Structures are given as structure tokens and as C-alpha cells.
A and B are shown apart, each in its own frame.
Chain A
């Protein structure tokens, strides 16, 4: 499988293979691979001895998990209320136009993933775009171009 069994094993071992730790285990796998490879989910179900449906149920319920690989560059647009009233929707729309993808998707070349986030707690700077953990405050549609250009260099 794409996911290395021994790596997944060591993650499961850290939680003593407790079914109650399913979410934590999946979080660590997600951290390792940037998504949840399908084989890893089946493997976790087998080792924890729980139905696959439960593992897939959890993996698809929570926003933190992705069954699709994510892009190298992660762009998160804060959609908190403070950012919303300051115009985050327009910033998101401009990013969607420029990257030619919708929020939640990854560009075909695997370079960018565009996502929304409910609130990053930097409301004073709203609208906020977080690009690979770097915060860009007081964003406007006009600033989107320079943000993306600075990444291409």
C-alpha cells in the first residue's frame, strides 16, 4: 500500500490500539501523509478490530480529514463572522477565479489546495488568508494576485 504499514503500526501502537483513540490515530495518519490513504483506513479497521464503516464514518464526518491528497501549498481563507462582514467572500471568489478551482479542491498540478476555515482567531486582521501557516491580514481581492505571485518565485 502507499501508506507504509510499519508507520501506521507505530501510530496505532502509540495509542495502544484502543478503538476510543480512532480519531487521534487518524489525525496522526493525516499529519503523516497530508491525507488518509484508503488502504490505511482499512488497515486501521483491521488492527483495531472495528467495522470499516465506523472508520470511514469518522473519516468522512470530520473536516480535519481528507480522503484526497492535498496540494503542496495550502491556502486557507478564514470565513469567520468578523472576516465575513469585512468581505472575505470576495477574497475567496477571487482566489477561486485565479486558481481555477473551487474551495475544497486542489489544482490539477497538485500545487495548491484552497480551503475555507471557520475562524483562525485573528479577527483584528480580517479578512485573513493563511498560506502555509503564514497569516495575511486585511486581504482584498486586489491583494490576491500579489499573494499568488509571491508564491511562484
Chain B
């Protein structure tokens, strides 16, 4: 199936479409990371087996797709052509779905989503409040295609942007289109993509590289993984277009080793694209050639930094270098290189197909297009959401995310991963774009959005990120290596009740040094979690230092457990479960907790059914 011209690709598309019966039922089972962890493959197999048992194999398709986004409700299946949205499936539900929905064309109320606010069941995906407010330009195709099928991608218009580019656009036209679209890098920094391309295009050198950064290391972020797993050809198409614009014939995809399915799917997509003639020499008869290799990361967060990533591609430890040497001039193997993140690459075909004007109409003045966020933490609707830039935090967290579970109060939202900051409730109406997030002391980052409630201790969160970065610091430059260590010590002291008020000035000073003197983005942005929590939640720091109290009840050294004799029924459950043998008492008599022996694991608090264990 090699296509050697734009016309042949168009013929192939028509042929694929002609062979598809649009009315034929198709069950799209979400195979995203959240659903996979929820045993969705067993659900998929149950569909296949049941369909076979009923003799319907030729009449119904089953498709395992990439992430649909609504992880909270997994395993999820969409039934085409009606787009019926079934959620929280188990293998026991499958025979009923085949019998009722596929054969008799009836929906099963029990498996539908209930819109609590409207007090009614909703049938289709588009009506679910979680999806209604989203603009799923990038993620929306995930449920429509099998990521292992290049035909599926071609059928939904895939590689048509490449045809447009190779069929009549000069490389500089492509660069201009991307510049005019206003798209900025989705990996974290938010540098204008078109300008990056232009610099690399103008750089001196015969050999240039394009690189896809898929070393998604931010804890709590999995959007790049879901794009690569769910729609790998969209990333490839973006890269081929970018390579043509820049004048590159070789590329790399650097994938986090912890993402085996993403690795598998991108490798398969590359193989298929090569077989189809969309990678290799003389693509679509244009004379332009491009091919790429996949490299696996080694599990180092710092390798998400572009220069560390390139060092790793060269087979060296992933240590960053000073930024005055521009990657666009001297990148991989000292040759001009252009590195963009997965989501950025996936946006390119959209921009080419629909035009820069269309794209730049979405979003805010300084941030164009949509952004995918992983909405996680203390939130009702955990999942991947894609919204136009400029949507407020309130809309994302409450309208799409459904608010905070168990009636708890919202405290903060953390964006930007370890480089970002915590945004308090007073700023909940902040429109989300690159500059507004930076203004309030956080950043866009790759798009993690971690929601925190009243039970989250902000000092503990700051310490969590500092510990994370301390572990991940490559150790090359002193401010980052030593500064994080000292900052970790100070924060540990505060969380363990040994803090002093002057420590707060000290971490402020340290933060300034790290920001100004660190070599790479990891160190320069490392103080953000500390500075933002100190700015917005100073009272929590002071409570730890002055009162030796952790208001959220998280820092173990500052809390004590005891048993309320009035509520204790003497059931003995806590006594049995206590790993430290700190609880004593006769059956049916109030128990006693020996604070001296207590290791504060909190198990007694969790197991007690009578609210008799007190945490102070």
C-alpha cells in the first residue's frame, strides 16, 4: 500500500471510506491509562467473545482506542453510530449491552451517566457535562480511531495537511502559517513555535534534526502519553510537516520508558507510515525525504529539559547545558535542531488544515488554541480535559471537573508540575493562559492540574515538590544541587515542628538564588512551589512554626492520635490493626492509645467506624 502521490493518497482515503459502513455498530472501548488500570481489556475481550457467541462478528466492530478522557468513569465504551456513552462497565454488563443496545437498539439506563444537576440520565457523550464545555480538537479523535490503524487515521482526514504542505506550500509559507497561528510550545516554556522553526530553518548547516519530546515526567500529567497512545499518526504528521518547513531529513522521538504502550504505538505508526511512503525518500513524489527513530528515556525527569534530552539522545548522562548556546544553532550532535513537545506536534496538522486565522481565533490574546490538562487530585471528575485557552479555573474545576468530592472545601490548584505553583481560591476566576499563570507565580507547564482540598497541607506539598526535584536534580550546577537540599532540610524542619520564623526569610532568599543562578529550567523554576505557597498560604507555615500545628492534619510529627472514650465501643478493630501495638483495652470497654508507642500511621483513624479516634 505505498502511495506515491497526493492523488493516490486521496484515492486510498476514498477507497477506505467506501469500504466503511457508517451505520454499522462499532463499540469503541477506551484503552487509556486510567481504563487500562481498571481492567478495560477484560471488558473489550468480553465484547469480542459475546459478539462471536451471538454470531454477530460480521455485523459489529469492536475498537480498542486511546484515552477518552473521563478516567473517573472507566472502563468506558462509546457505541457508534448513536455515540451512546456507557460508563463504569464490568464484564457482567456485556451480554446485556449486546442483547439490548446492539440487537434491540435500546439503551440501558443503569450504565448511562447521570447528570446530577439536571437530575436526569444522559445518553450521548456530548451531553455529559464533563464533555459539554470542552473543545476537544486534539483528544476528540481518540475515540474515532484505532491507534494501530493508519487506515483509520487516513479515513478521518489524516495526512491531508501533509498533502497540502507538499502539494504547493514553500517551506517558508509553512513557517509563516505556524507563526501566524500564534501557537506556543505545549511542553512548559511556551516559546512561540513558529519562531523556533524559523531560527532552525535559518541556522547554518546541511544536517538538521527535528525532535519530539515525549519524556513526560511531570507527576500527575499524562496528556502526551494519551496523544501518543491514542493518535500517534497525528504527531508523526506534525513532525513531517515541521521537518519540511525547517529543512530536516532526520528526526527523533524521545519517549519515556515508563510508557510501554506509547512506545509500541509510535513504533508501529512509524512502520506503517514508512510502508505507506509517508516516511522515507521522496514523500508523495515531492522530492522531500524524512525519517525518524524512537529513543527510550532512562527515567530521569531532567531529560524533559531540551538540552538534557539531547545529551541523552547522544548516549550520555542527561545533564543540561547553558542556554546561551541555542539548540536551533547547535543542538543534537552540535547540529541545528528543533525540539517540540508531543501536543505541539499534534496541533500542527490542525493549523495547516484549518489555517492560521481559524486557529488564532481560539484562545486569548497571547495564548492561542486549546490546551489539554490532566485534571487530578481532590476532584470529582478526574480525567483529561481539553479546553480553549482562557477558560477560567472555576469553569475547569467546577463545571467540567464537578468540584471537590465529599463536600470538602477547595483550597488550591497546582499547575505546571514541579516548576509550577499553587493557586489559591481567591484566584479561582483566573483565565488560564501562559501569561496569566506566570503572573500569579505558577506556570502552564505541560498541563498537570492538581486540585487540593482542605485536607491538603500546603507546606507538605511544597516539601513534596522540593524532595521530588532534589531527587531529580542532575547535580551539575551548585545552586540547584545544594540549594534544593538545604531548602528540603528547612521545610522538613518546619513540617516536623523545628521551624523558626527566620527560616521563612531564608527560604525566600534561597529561592531567589536558585531562580537567578541555576543552569537550567529545572533549577530556575524549582522555587515556584515554595514561593507560591509561601505567598498565598503563609498562615499555614506560621501555624507549623509558631503553634506546632498542621492545620490540615497531614504532617505526622505535628499531629497526635487519641481515643475518645465516649465514642469508643471497644470493638477492638483498631487494636487488631495497629502495627505498633500502641492500643490497649478490654473488649466492649473504651480503648486507650499510648502516644509514646504511636507511629502515627493513621490506620486506627481509618478503620474506626464510630469516629472514636481523634486526630489533632
A and B held together in a complex: yes
At the interface, yes or no: A148 with Cβ under 8 Å from chain B?
no
With A24-B295, A120-B33, A122-B34 in contact, do A142 and B577 touch (Cβ < 8 Å)? yes
Instruction: Note all chain B residues with C-beta closer than 8 A to A62.
Output: 297-300, 317-318
Contact of A81 with B464 in the complex, beta carbons under 8 Å: yes
Contact of B376 with A20 in the complex, beta carbons under 8 Å: no
Q: Quick one: which of A56-78 are within 8 Å of B by CB?
A: 57-58, 61-65
With A27-B298, A137-B38 in contact, do A124 and B258 touch (Cβ < 8 Å)? no
Min C-beta distance of B396 to chain A, whole Å: 15
With A93-B601, A123-B374 in contact, do A64 and B606 touch (Cβ < 8 Å)? no
Q: Quick one: which of B584-616 are within 8 Å of A by CB?
A: 601-603, 606-607
With A23-B298, A85-B461 in contact, do A118 and B601 touch (Cβ < 8 Å)? no
Q: Quick one: which of A107-124 are within 8 Å of B by CB?
A: 117-124
Contact of B450 with A22 in the complex, beta carbons under 8 Å: no
With A62-B299, A123-B222, A124-B376 in contact, do A19 and B315 touch (Cβ < 8 Å)? yes
Contact of A122 with B299 in the complex, beta carbons under 8 Å: no
Min C-beta distance of A133 to chain B, whole Å: 9
At the interface, yes or no: A33 with Cβ under 8 Å from chain B?
no
Instruction: Note all chain A residues with C-beta closer than 8 A to B299.
Output: 62-64
Choose from B36, B226, B315 the contact partner of A20 (Cβ within 8 Å).
Answer: B315
Q: Quick one: which of B429-467 are within 8 Å of A by CB?
A: 448, 450, 452, 456, 461, 464-465
Contact of A94 with B601 in the complex, beta carbons under 8 Å: yes
Contact of B377 with A125 in the complex, beta carbons under 8 Å: no
CA distance A69 to B144 in the complex (A): 44
Contact of B221 with A119 in the complex, beta carbons under 8 Å: yes
Contact of B579 with A128 in the complex, beta carbons under 8 Å: no
At the interface, yes or no: B59 with Cβ under 8 Å from chain A?
no
CA distance A20 to B250 in the complex (A): 15
Contact of A81 with B313 in the complex, beta carbons under 8 Å: no
A1-43 Cβ-contact flags toward B at 8 Å (1 or 0): 0000000000000000011111110010000000000000000
Q: Quick one: which of B1-58 are within 8 Å of A by CB?
A: 33-34, 36-38
With A81-B450, A82-B450 in contact, do A63 and B298 touch (Cβ < 8 Å)? yes
The residue among B313, B316, B461, B468 with the most chain A CB atoms within 10 A of its own CB is B316
Contact of B220 with A82 in the complex, beta carbons under 8 Å: yes
Instruction: Note all chain A residues with C-beta closer than 8 A to B577.
Output: 142
Q: Total A-B pairs in contact (CB under 8 Å)?
A: 145
With A61-B298, A82-B220 in contact, do A27 and B257 touch (Cβ < 8 Å)? yes
CA distance A124 to B258 in the complex (A): 18
Q: Quick one: which of B302-322 are within 8 Å of A by CB?
A: 312-318
Min C-beta distance of A83 to chain B, whole Å: 8
Q: Quick one: which of B478-493 are within 8 Å of A by CB?
A: none
Min C-beta distance of A100 to chain B, whole Å: 12
B207-223 Cβ-contact flags toward A at 8 Å (1 or 0): 00000000001111110
Q: Quick one: which of B355-399 are within 8 Å of A by CB?
A: 374, 376-378, 382-383
At the interface, yes or no: B296 with Cβ under 8 Å from chain A?
yes
Contact of A58 with B219 in the complex, beta carbons under 8 Å: no
CA distance A90 to B71 in the complex (A): 24
With A23-B295, A80-B220, A142-B607 in contact, do A124 and B450 touch (Cβ < 8 Å)? no
Min C-beta distance of A46 to chain B, whole Å: 16
Contact of B33 with A122 in the complex, beta carbons under 8 Å: yes
Contact of A135 with B603 in the complex, beta carbons under 8 Å: no
CA distance A123 to B313 in the complex (A): 29
Contact of A118 with B312 in the complex, beta carbons under 8 Å: no
Instruction: Note all chain A residues with C-beta closer than 8 A to B374.
Output: 123
At the interface, yes or no: B74 with Cβ under 8 Å from chain A?
yes
At the interface, yes or no: A152 with Cβ under 8 Å from chain B?
no
Instruction: Note all chain B residues with C-beta closer than 8 A to A63.
Output: 298-300
Instruction: Note all chain B residues with C-beta closer than 8 A to A125.
Output: 34, 37-38, 71
CA distance A12 to B314 in the complex (A): 16
Instruction: Note all chain B residues with C-beta closer than 8 A to A18.
Output: 315
Contact of A27 with B464 in the complex, beta carbons under 8 Å: no
Closest B residue to A123 by beta carbon equals B376
Closest B residue to A80 by beta carbon equals B219
Closest B residue to A62 by beta carbon equals B298
Min C-beta distance of B583 to chain A, whole Å: 15
Instruction: Note all chain B residues with C-beta closer than 8 A to A128.
Output: 37
Contact of A117 with B383 in the complex, beta carbons under 8 Å: no
Contact of A121 with B601 in the complex, beta carbons under 8 Å: no
Choose from B74, B221, B316, B448 the contact partner of A58 (Cβ within 8 Å).
Answer: B316
Closest A residue to B452 by beta carbon equals A85
Instruction: Note all chain A residues with C-beta closer than 8 A to B465.
Output: 81
Closest A residue to B224 by beta carbon equals A121
Instruction: Note all chain B residues with C-beta closer than 8 A to A97.
Output: 579, 601
Contact of A85 with B377 in the complex, beta carbons under 8 Å: yes
Min C-beta distance of A31 to chain B, whole Å: 10
Instruction: Note all chain B residues with C-beta closer than 8 A to A22.
Output: 315-316
Contact of B296 with A81 in the complex, beta carbons under 8 Å: no
Contact of B606 with A121 in the complex, beta carbons under 8 Å: no
Instruction: Note all chain A residues with C-beta closer than 8 A to B226.
Output: 121
Instruction: Note all chain A residues with C-beta closer than 8 A to B219.
Output: 79-82, 84, 118-119
Contact of B602 with A82 in the complex, beta carbons under 8 Å: no
Contact of B377 with A82 in the complex, beta carbons under 8 Å: yes
Instruction: Note all chain A residues with C-beta closer than 8 A to B448.
Output: 81
CA distance A20 to B312 in the complex (A): 9
With A86-B377, A140-B606 in contact, do A20 and B318 touch (Cβ < 8 Å)? no
Min C-beta distance of A102 to chain B, whole Å: 14
Contact of B468 with A118 in the complex, beta carbons under 8 Å: yes
Min C-beta distance of A77 to chain B, whole Å: 12
At the interface, yes or no: B414 with Cβ under 8 Å from chain A?
yes
With A61-B298, A85-B461, A120-B33 in contact, do A90 and B315 touch (Cβ < 8 Å)? no
At the interface, yes or no: B61 with Cβ under 8 Å from chain A?
no
Instruction: Note all chain B residues with C-beta closer than 8 A to A20.
Output: 313-315
What are 28 pairs between A and B in contact, CB < 8 Å? Answer: A19-B315, A23-B298, A24-B296, A27-B298, A61-B298, A61-B300, A61-B318, A62-B318, A79-B219, A81-B464, A82-B450, A84-B219, A84-B464, A85-B450, A86-B378, A97-B579, A119-B218, A119-B219, A119-B221, A120-B37, A123-B377, A123-B382, A124-B72, A124-B74, A124-B383, A135-B36, A141-B603, A142-B577
Please name 14 further chain A to chain B contacts, defined as beta carbons within 8 Å, in addition to the given A63-B300, A123-B376, sorted by A numbering.
A27-B298, A61-B300, A79-B219, A80-B220, A82-B220, A82-B376, A82-B382, A86-B377, A90-B601, A90-B602, A119-B221, A121-B33, A123-B34, A135-B38
5 closest A-B pairs by beta carbon, nearest first, are A62-B298, A121-B222, A63-B299, A124-B71, A22-B315
